[in-house]
Amino acid sequence: MIRVTIDGVVQEAMSGERLIDVINRAGVKISQVCYHPQLGPIQTCDTCMVEANGQLVRACATTASTGMEILTKSEKAAAAQREAFDRILSNHVLYCTVCDNNNGNCTIHNTEKLLGIEHQPIPYHSKPYEEDHTNPFYRYDPQQCILCGRCVEACQNVQVNETLSINWEDPHPRVLWDGGSTIGESSCVSCGHCISVCPCNALMEKSMLGHAGFFTALPKTTLSGMIDVVKGIEPETGYGAILKLSDAESHMRESRTRRTKTVCTYCGVGCSFNIWTKDRHILKVEPLDGPTNGISTCVKGKFGWDFVNSADRLTKPLIREGGKFREASWDEALGLVARKFLELKAENGPDSLAFVSSSKCTNEESYLMQKLARAVIGTNNMDNCSRYCQAPATQGLFRTVGYGGDSGSIRDIENAGLVLIIGSNTAESHPVLATRVKRAHKLRRQKLIVSDLREHEMAKRADLFLRPKPGTDIVWLSAVSNYLLDNGMVSTEFLAKWVNGLEEYKKSLAPFTMEFASRTCGLPVDILKDVAHMIAEASGVCILWAMGVTQHSMGSDTSTAISNLLLITGNYMKTGAGAYPLRGHNNVQGASDHGAMPNFLPGYQSVDDPEVRSRFESCWNVQLPSTKGLDNHEMVEAIHQGKLKAMYLFGEEMSLVDSNANFVGDGLSKLDFFVVQDIFFSATCRFADVVLPASPSLEKEGTFTSTERRIQRLYQVFEPLEGSRPDWQIIQEIASRLGATWQYQHPSEIYREIASLTPLFAGVTYERLEGFKSLQWPVRADGTDQPLLYTKEFAFPDGKARLFPLSLTEPTDQPNAEFDLHLNNGRLLEHFHEGNMTYRSEGIREKTPDTFVEVSPELAEERGIQSGTWVQLTSRYGQVRVRALVTDRVHGKQLYMPMNSVESPVNRLTSSYTDSVTHTPAYKEASVHLRVLPEVGESPLPRINYRFGHPTPQHGVEVERKWKRPDYRMPGNGLVQIQTN
């Protein structure tokens, strides 16, 4: 710590801290138009000029040093600030009263007030450009753009999509997309970073336009007239009077615009933000304070919320009668559910019923669902969709380090020396997390290795891209481990202190030589040695993996191999290192954590542990079943065998997302009684006997747990749509009709019970999670959490990790002469899973209307396929018809099909083979035959899809180019030009 003086008052600062941060912390108000703490100094606006030791400097780009004397309001500083701001106003018309951005947080408006500028010495000059409305979600108005460059910085260096730049050398600079394309045809992924950081109305969400203000919906001609009047009276009245009027209008907005914190309902990254609403209209999503994401979102979190107000929402319970559904009252539907459950339990025993929880719903709801299954019905037949994706990763970690969660935070991934991504299309499946890797790679020279079948964005960016043969990651991972051990490139100290089982593990590696791996995986030995050396030399290694690893018949073993590799190289127990299985759904981690599993009560407490059971039994006042129940995969088998008669499932599209969908559908149609609870009439509802209308995340309170074990609260944005109910209330109602006496009035009461029964969450309370606060489990009773999972010991009785020996397993469903192509599948950035929510966003549909199958250029040439050609894919299990997209993301005889389709779901083609330990389907092991159909349609991806754009990477906003303009002069006298990194 050092001391500096600000306007005569001594302040503490950290050595090297930005002056502007010190000044802001001291509560001294100075103008700072282009500065945003999450972007760092951009230095385009010059409004933050202060005197430091007698010299005028930009406060954002100058660092504090001992004894520095800073004057923020000296004559020189004030004149420079005003001059800088005058120049900004020459690019911007102040029509605040009729501006949708007049919400109290407009930087231009507030700076105008702060500096008390009454008149505009440099007149406004318009630019020869039109507004650009070609993106479905936002528009750019060059006339209002002050060229601060925040958007460029965010796009280039935070999102790292590298779409935006400013043509500083042009007589009329403006923001450019792909160097001069329309927004709609550019590489813009509609993540919204640029809009979220724009300090004025130049970039705005279309959902705000005409909706945010009281006068902003007026016809354009009327608005122009009003703006002209304002401009006309400004010379006489000055800005002060005009701003008073707009301030009054802004205050009026406060009475009708609500800002509510929520957590994203899509992927497991766990972005949180404020959502602005006016009645049931979503004005915008405003990310800023989220502990994981800050200003970041992806297109789904920022713009993918239309589904909440979709006309398709279910609002009445439905009962199947005579092969058709009819509407019913809640009373009738719930009465029927309770009666049938009781009948079937009486006839066939509790284990003839099964329960499937939702990874989209809250922790509290998963807890209640498993409590219903166990305490009310008396069965452990309870699972959630982590069975479809994450269970093998959890297993790999259980075997080696003890807990089934990410070993650190996204911040650790950012700080790693080397990130190794295996079987994860991170930029599309976990977009905001990927931005942190892209940023560290671009700005901090973090090393990146990617192993994947497809050359997706992260693979293109990688320092080393491995394309092993399908299903062989376990081989090269084990060979690299073997090589590291053989060559003394491991952390002997860490192994000696923290790890058991080295000798046995070493023996198991004997078959995994580099040569064997090279032959099996199709990777050169030299490349594998490079991987080993990069791992050994890195200051810290984080391994990220997802469904490309887990959805294999050896998914648990490959996950184990990853953790083994991290252990021998000492990449646990420190920041910037560790194992990161990337959780798919927003609450897939939480659903498992809170007991929606056949073998675990909440907090991974085993159902066969008498001590655990007795704790729950005395709280719930029941006897609990003690043997493991059926998992999702076993449930389908049990239906086919006639053992399982009834199922209650909520928020889960099982008939499309489970593998071998035809087999699953046949099973569901054989159930005696099937209850589906959802917000839409999903494909799975077609098999139901009763459909119950539920509420999405924006209509309820509760908590979600993200991939980094982060528990966060979501607050209710809207009342439940009339006729629908939050899932926790429906489950409670069913429990009551089955004889339970639950009395939860609010999800916080449910959490109190969870915390009292579950050591992992002992200190979790709603108060500790208030607003944007969060906790990363385990949470001790005093509220201490653990961002870094292993600090003092591993989660085994002796505190030591365990190396787990592995052997080779062959992938299933291999290609042969008939089924000669390998079919891979996964997510797309724009659509979540089958698209039940995202297809209801008009903008997303416009950009990405349908699914497709990716075909390599070589295969396309061989078979006469072009983008748009219809093809029929046939596997050993089913058939789909789909349009081809020719792309070099895939190669050779490998196809890729995203899962965003209800009509042609890829899972009609996948098998019932599973990972032998967890029963996670081997989705990624599928072989198909491709038949070219005679029809050729449009390309399945329109030209306006971002994949056709041409990014323009550069180093941020490149303000030095602005400084070189002949018309640029630093404001104030005798200024020092600051050079920055």
Q: Which residues of the shown chain bind ligand SF4 in the complex (CB under 6 A)?
A: 145-151, 154-155, 159, 161, 163-164, 175, 188-194, 198, 200, 202-203, 264, 266-267, 269-271, 293, 297-298, 300-301, 431-432
Residues 20-39 contacting ligand FES, CB under 6 A: 32-35
* Least distance between ligand SF4 and beta carbon 346 (Å): 44
Tokens of 7: 């306007």
* CA atoms in the 13 A half-sphere facing the CB of 566: 33
Residue 60 binds which one of ligand SF4, ligand FES, none, with CB within 5 to 8 A depending on kind?
ligand FES
* Least distance between ligand SF4 and beta carbon 162 (Å): 8
H/E stretch holding 458:
helix 457-461
Q: In the complex with ligand SF4, which residue's Cβ is closer, 432 or 607?
A: 432
Asked whether the beta carbons of 296 and 287 are under 8 A apart, the reply is yes
Amino acid, single-letter form, for residue 484: L
Residue 587 binds which one of ligand FES, ligand SF4, none, with CB within 5 to 8 A depending on kind?
none
Residue 602 binds which one of ligand SF4, ligand FES, none, with CB within 5 to 8 A depending on kind?
none
* Least distance between ligand SF4 and beta carbon 836 (Å): 15
Residue 458 binds which one of ligand SF4, ligand FES, none, with CB within 5 to 8 A depending on kind?
none
Size of the residue set binding ligand FES (CB under 6 A): 12
* Least distance between ligand FES and beta carbon 855 (Å): 49
* Least distance between ligand SF4 and beta carbon 429 (Å): 9
Q: In the complex with ligand SF4, which residue's Cβ is closer, 177 or 604?
A: 177
Quote the CA–CA distance of 715 and 701 in Å, as a whole number.
5
* Least distance between ligand FES and beta carbon 87 (Å): 12
Residue 43 binds which one of ligand SF4, ligand FES, none, with CB within 5 to 8 A depending on kind?
ligand FES
* Least distance between ligand SF4 and beta carbon 853 (Å): 24
Residue 271 binds which one of ligand FES, ligand SF4, none, with CB within 5 to 8 A depending on kind?
ligand SF4
Q: In the complex with ligand SF4, which residue's Cβ is closer, 300 or 700?
A: 300
Residue 45 binds which one of ligand FES, ligand SF4, none, with CB within 5 to 8 A depending on kind?
ligand FES
Whole-Å CA distances, 228 to 13, 49, 94, 414? 47, 32, 11, 49
Tokens of 417: 């020396």
Residue 830 binds which one of ligand SF4, ligand FES, none, with CB within 5 to 8 A depending on kind?
none
The DSSP call for residue 964 is T
Residues 529-588 contacting ligand FES, CB under 6 A: none
Q: In the complex with ligand FES, which residue's Cβ is closer, 58 or 710?
A: 58
Quote the CA–CA distance of 572 and 800 in Å, as a whole number.
12
* Least distance between ligand SF4 and beta carbon 128 (Å): 16
Residue 58 binds which one of ligand FES, ligand SF4, none, with CB within 5 to 8 A depending on kind?
ligand FES
* Least distance between ligand SF4 and beta carbon 178 (Å): 9
Quote the CA–CA distance of 807 and 704 in Å, as a whole number.
37
Quote the CA–CA distance of 588 and 726 in Å, as a whole number.
18
What angle, 0 to 180 degrees and rounded to 10, lies between the N-to-C axes of helices 363-371 and 727-737?
20
Quote the CA–CA distance of 804 and 501 in Å, as a whole number.
7
Residue 33 binds which one of ligand SF4, ligand FES, none, with CB within 5 to 8 A depending on kind?
ligand FES
Task: Find the DSSP H helices in 487-608.
Answer: 492-498, 502-508, 514-521, 525-537, 547-550, 555-568, 588-593
Cis peptide before 778 (omega within 30 of 0): yes
* Least distance between ligand SF4 and beta carbon 187 (Å): 7
Pairing between β-strand 2-6 and β-strand 69-71 as defined by DSSP bridges: parallel
Amino acid, single-letter form, for residue 698: L
Q: In the complex with ligand SF4, which residue's Cβ is closer, 176 or 528?
A: 176
* Least distance between ligand FES and beta carbon 781 (Å): 45
Amino acid, single-letter form, for residue 878: G
What angle, 0 to 180 degrees and rounded to 10, lies between the N-to-C axes of helices 661-670 and 632-640?
60
- Residues ≥6 apart with Cβ < 8 Å to 126: 143
* Least distance between ligand SF4 and beta carbon 150 (Å): 4
Q: In the complex with ligand SF4, which residue's Cβ is closer, 587 or 660?
A: 587
DSSP-assigned letters across all residues of 578-624: EEEE---BTTHHHHHHTT-SSSEETTTEETT-HHHHHHHHHHHTS--
Asked whether the beta carbons of 217 and 211 are under 8 A apart, the reply is yes
Quote the CA–CA distance of 505 and 453 in Å, as a whole number.
28
Q: In the complex with ligand SF4, which residue's Cβ is closer, 203 or 242?
A: 203
Q: Of 811, 739, 18, which is closest to residue 346 (Cα–Cα)?
A: 739
Q: Would you count residue 394 as binding ligand FES (CB under 6 A)?
A: no
Q: In the complex with ligand FES, which residue's Cβ is closer, 432 or 957?
A: 957
> In the block, which residue shows the tokens 């999670």?
769
Backbone angles phi, psi at 245, to 5 degrees: -65, -45
Q: In the complex with ligand FES, which residue's Cβ is closer, 47 or 592?
A: 47
DSSP-assigned letters across all residues of 153-193: HIIIIIS----EEE-TTSSS--EEETTTB-STTSS-----H
- Residues ≥6 apart with Cβ < 8 Å to 938: 868
* Least distance between ligand SF4 and beta carbon 268 (Å): 7
* Least distance between ligand FES and beta carbon 745 (Å): 49
Q: In the complex with ligand SF4, which residue's Cβ is closer, 659 or 836?
A: 836
Going across the sheet that includes 324-327, the strands are 324-327, 318-321, 690-693, 673-678, 646-650, 353-356, 382-383
* Least distance between ligand FES and beta carbon 237 (Å): 29
End-to-end CA distance of the chain: 23
Task: Find the DSSP H helices in 706-758.
Answer: 727-737, 747-757
Per-residue x/- track, 883-922, ligand FES (CB under 6 A): ----------------------------------------
Which residue has the CB atom at the shortest distance from ligand SF4? 301
Backbone angles phi, psi at 458, to 5 degrees: -65, -35
H/E stretch holding 499:
strand 499-500
Tokens of 916: 């032998």
Q: In the complex with ligand SF4, which residue's Cβ is closer, 196 or 478?
A: 196
Q: If 0-12 CB within 10 Å is exposed, 13-18 middle and 19+ buried, where does residue 461 land? A: middle
* Least distance between ligand SF4 and beta carbon 397 (Å): 22
* Least distance between ligand SF4 and beta carbon 166 (Å): 7
Asked whether the beta carbons of 223 and 141 are under 8 A apart, the reply is no
Residues 940-979 contacting ligand FES, CB under 6 A: none
Residue 297 binds which one of ligand SF4, ligand FES, none, with CB within 5 to 8 A depending on kind?
ligand SF4
Per-residue x/- track, 45-84, ligand FES (CB under 6 A): xxxx---------x-x------------------------
Amino acid, single-letter form, for residue 377: I
Residue 421 binds which one of ligand FES, ligand SF4, none, with CB within 5 to 8 A depending on kind?
none
Q: In the complex with ligand FES, which residue's Cβ is closer, 32 or 900?
A: 32
Residue 47 binds which one of ligand FES, ligand SF4, none, with CB within 5 to 8 A depending on kind?
ligand FES
Residue 164 binds which one of ligand FES, ligand SF4, none, with CB within 5 to 8 A depending on kind?
ligand SF4
Q: In the complex with ligand SF4, which residue's Cβ is closer, 150 or 883?
A: 150
Q: In the complex with ligand FES, which residue's Cβ is closer, 84 or 547?
A: 84
Q: In the complex with ligand FES, which residue's Cβ is closer, 603 or 971?
A: 971
Quote the CA–CA distance of 941 and 696 in Å, as a whole number.
29
Length of the chain: 981
Residues engaged in binding ligand FES (CB under 6 A): 32-35, 43-48, 58, 60
